[in-house]
Each structure stands twice: as structure tokens, then as C-alpha cells.
């Protein structure tokens, strides 16, 4: 059985666009006709350029190879061009292709991927989601309104969620970390206070930041939030200085979580060695794929750290996350987008069972999905923006900041 053909889909979710502007899916076919699907979560270049990278990685390192030789193909891609270091774009391309190999192997053996990784550890997988607006909420006002966030949080807890994420702490700017404004610090505290008041002890609060702050700025904000006892303080500083995470972790009494923008065990190992994070959030479409992320989970286990696979992408990465989550012993929680009941589930044949805050471990062969190619092709991406983008303007210390959390405006 050899890998013979590649097809790439660039799909845009319909409004309001939860999960980003577009998702990149890959389909691999073997010479005996077995197909597998994966998802690439790497978007530092545009979709057309990414198509070329994916095609090059496949042709150069994988075409004609047996899908069983995942370790060999990883080392080829990781070492390509005399590099042997994490490369976000190349490893993102490989990650999606690697998922598709596992999908093929599972189908060939008529077993779910987690059975090939060492078996099922977790029958029910705890999930969390961002807090999203309810019908009738003012979309523009929602992201800076503690009261509207609390209403949504309560509705999600009533639905079954036991962990909720929100990010009211100000803009993500391309200038790097900044000192938070006092207005943003107090808005963040107000969000924690109102959501905690609404849900009580029925759910953990997951405080999201996305590398907005300098080290000292993150410490100032984190200390202000300690009284609300969040389960985590997510990516408080930019991911380009991994050693600084340890300073935040040592100064703030909230567990630090990070990892959505990191790739391969090399970067995660630095966090673990220095005590920079106790909760790791790899995105499997970027981190190196399923096998590489299982290695990351093994390292985390040795450091008494837990795993919380990240998802701000499409449903194929979600399915891969669940295969890993079903297998590893140090799982904390997995991210979902809502309950996946809208476009995500449609694209994979409603293959994932979400029930009262938990997902049932998948049992179908491979990734356990029925990818709808016709639906993916019917929603092509026609915009010019990248999957997610940072703002160029600096933090506004005089008039306040309003930043749409997690969901970029849908382009015309």
C-alpha cells in the first residue's frame, strides 16, 4: 500500500465564521484505493501559497511511501533543506498529511486511530468552548460586555459544559506584547466576576489571552484575576520567547496554558523543562501531527503536565484531537466550537457525538468521519485575508479597546 494521490480543499465556513476565515483539508489516496483526510492548521501564508507547500511536502517526502512509515516521513520533512528545526509552515503541511495517513491506516485495519496508538484510555472526553453570542445578542457589543457573556455562559452550562473560555483582555497586535490598560484589566476582572456569579462552581473559567502582553504586563493582569480562580491563564505572552513563560508561571497563582502556535516536541520541551506551562494546548494540524503530539503528551506526563488539545479550525482537526484524547492518560479537556452542531458536524457527516459536555470516544475506523467533499467544494474561500490576523494599531489606552474575540469579520 503506497501513497499515490493528493487533493486539497480550501473551505470557508458560513457566517458568522466561527473557526476562522477558512480551513485547509487534504485527501490522500493509496494505490489500492483507500482514502484518508487531514487538516492543515498553518496560515502564515495565503491559501494558494499553502497549497503549493502542501503539494511540495507530499511530492518530496511522502508520495510513493507506505502510510505506515510516519516516523520516517516526519524526519524527512523536519530535516528538509538541512533544517532540523521547527518550521511552522512545513510542519503545518506535514501535520495535515500525517493525519490523513492515520485515517488510511485505521481504515485499512478497520480500527479507530486511537486503537493503533495504544488503545482507549478515555471513553468520555470532556470538552470546552469559547463563550459565543446567543441569538438576539448585539454582536458588536458582546465582546466587551460582562453581562452578555454571563448570559451565554449560563446557557452553555445549562447545555452541559463544565468549562468555558473567554478573552476580553484587549487587542492582539503585531507589535508584540504590550502593557494592558487599566480599563482592560478591570474589564477582564468584571468578565470573571459576572461569569462566576452566573455559573457558580458548575464550570471552570478558562481565561484566554493570545500573547498580548509583556511578561510584566501578563503578571499584572494575572494577579488581578487570581481571586476568581480560573483553571488557566492562556498564552499570556508572545510565543517567540519561551523562556519568559516561566517568569509568568512563577509569579501568578493560575496555571499557565499555551501551545496553539507551537510546533513539534522541540518547542514544547522548552516549556516543560523551564516550568513555563503546566497545561499544553497543541493544535494537531500544526504541532507535527498525531504521532508527534502523542510524544508531546508523553513528555508532559513525565513533567506532571496535562494536555488540552486546541481547536480554532475545522472538524478534521477536531476529529484528530479526539483520537489522541481518547488515548492519552494526562488529558484535561479538548476544545470544541460550540457543540459542533453547525457547519463543523455537517462537513464530517455528524460523526462526533457531543452529549452534556462530553464527547464519546470515536469507534469508527480511521478518524471516524465521513468527510463531505461536495459540501467542502460548495463553500470555497474567495477572500484575501489569512485565517486569523492581528491588528496593526497599538493598544488604545485613552478610549478603550474593542476586539472581536476569536471570530474575524466575515468578508464580503
Residue 318: the pLDDT is: 98
Residue 411: the pLDDT is: 47
Backbone angles phi, psi at 306, to 5 degrees: -115, 165
Residue spans in the chain of domains classed CATH 3.20.20.120: 115-366
- Of 18, 121, 124, 148, the C-alpha closest to 356 is 124
45-57: average pLDDT: 97
CB proximity list for 154: less than 8 A, separation 6 or greater: 198, 199
83-103: average pLDDT: 97
Q: Cα torsion for 296, 300, 306, 310, to the nearest 10°?
A: -20
- CATH node for 115-366: 3.20.20.120
The Cα 283–Cα 281 span in angstroms is 7
Cα-Cα-Cα-Cα dihedral sign, residues 134, 401, 312, 54: positive
284-288: average pLDDT: 98
Taking residue 79's Cβ as centre, other Cβ atoms within 10 Å add up to 12
CATH H superfamily, domain 3-114: Enolase-like, N-terminal domain (3.30.390.10)
228-234: average pLDDT: 98
pTM here is: 0.97
Number of H helices, E strands in the chain: 14, 13
Summarised one tens digit per residue, pLDDT across range 347-404 is 999 999 999 999 999 999 999 999 999 999 999 999 999 999 898 999 999 999 986 6
- Of 382, 165, 192, the C-alpha closest to 260 is 165
pLDDT for residue 410 is more than 60:
no
Residue spans in the chain of domains classed CATH 3.30.390.10: 3-114
End-to-end CA distance of the chain: 44
The Cα 225–Cα 73 span in angstroms is 44
Residue 140: the pLDDT is: 86
Residue 405: the pLDDT is: 54
pLDDT for residue 102 is more than 50:
yes
The Cα 103–Cα 97 span in angstroms is 10
Summarised one tens digit per residue, pLDDT across range 175-223 is 999 999 999 999 999 999 999 999 999 999 999 999 999 999 999 999 9
Taking residue 104's Cβ as centre, other Cβ atoms within 10 Å add up to 27
Amino acid at each position: 500500500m503506497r501513497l499515490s494521490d493528493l487533493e486539497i480543499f480550501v473551505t470557508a465556513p458560513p457566517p458568522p465564521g466561527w473557526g476562522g476565515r477558512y480551513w485547509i483539508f487534504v485527501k490522500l489516496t493509496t494505490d489500492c484505493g483507500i482514502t484518508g483526510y487531514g487538516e492543515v492548521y498553518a496560515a502564515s501564508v495565503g491559501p494558494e501559497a499553502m497549497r503549493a507547500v502542501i503539494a511540495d511536502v507530499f511530492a518530496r517526502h511522502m508520495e510513493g511511501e507506505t502510510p505506515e512509515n510516519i516516523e520516517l516521513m516526519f524526519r524527512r520533512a523536519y530535516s528538509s533543506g538541512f533544517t532540523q528545526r521547527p518550521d511552522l509552515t512545513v510542519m503545518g503541511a506535514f501535520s495535515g498529511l500525517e493525519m490523513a495517513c492515520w485515517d488510511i491506516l485505521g481504515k485499512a485495519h478497520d480500527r479507530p486511530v486511537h486503537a493503533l496508538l495504544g488503545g482507549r484510555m478515555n471513553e468520555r472526553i470532556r470538552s470546552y468552548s469559547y463563550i459565543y453570542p446567543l441569538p438576539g445578542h448585539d454582536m458588536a457589543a458582546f465582546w466587551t460586555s460582562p453581562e452578555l457573556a454571563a448570559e451565554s455562559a449560563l446557557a452553555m452550562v445549562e447545555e452541559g459544559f463544565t468549562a468555558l473560555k473567554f478573552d476580553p483582555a484587549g487587542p492582539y497586535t503585531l507589535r508584540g506584547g504590550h502593557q494592558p490598560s487599566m480599563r482592560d484589566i478591570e474589564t477582564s476582572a468584571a468578565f470573571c466576576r459576572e461569569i462566576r456569579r452566573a455559573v457558580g462552581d458548575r464550570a471552570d473559567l478558562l481565561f484566554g489571552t493570545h500573547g498580548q502582553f509583556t511578561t510584566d504586563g501578563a503578571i499584572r493582569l494575572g494577579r488581578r484575576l487570581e481571586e476568581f480562580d480560573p483553571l488557566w491563564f492562556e498564552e499570556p505572552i508572545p510565543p517567540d520567547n519561551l523562556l519568559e513563560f516561566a517568569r509568568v508561571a512563577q509569579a501568578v497563582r493560575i496555571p499557565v496554558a499555551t501551545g496553539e502556535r507551537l510546533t513539534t516536541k522541540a518547542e514544547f520541551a522548552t516549556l516543560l523543562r523551564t516550568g513555563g506551562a503546566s497545561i499544553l494546548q497543541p493544535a494537531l494540524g500544526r504541532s507535527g501531527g498525531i504521532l508527534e503530539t502523542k510524544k508531546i503528551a508523553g513528555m508532559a506526563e513525565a513533567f506532571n503536565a496535562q494536555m488540552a488539545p486546541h481547536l480554532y479550525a475545522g472538524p478534521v482537526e477536531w476529529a484528530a484531537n479526539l483520537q489522541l484524547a481518547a488515548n492519552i492518560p494526562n488529558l484535561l479537556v479538548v476544545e470544541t466550537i460550540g457543540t459542533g452542531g453547525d457547519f463543523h458536524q455537517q462537513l464530517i457527516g455528524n460523526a462526533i457525538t457531543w452529549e452534556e459536555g462530553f464527547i464519546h470516544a470515536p469507534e469508527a475506523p480511521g478518524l471516524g468521519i465521513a468527510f463531505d467533499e461536495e459540501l467542502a467544494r460548495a463553500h470555497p474561500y474567495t477572500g484575501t485575508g489569512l485565517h486569523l490576523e492581528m491588528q496593526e494599531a497599538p493598544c488604545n489606552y485613552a478610549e478603550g479597546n474593542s476586539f472581536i474575540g476569536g471570530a474575524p469579520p466575515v468578508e464580503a
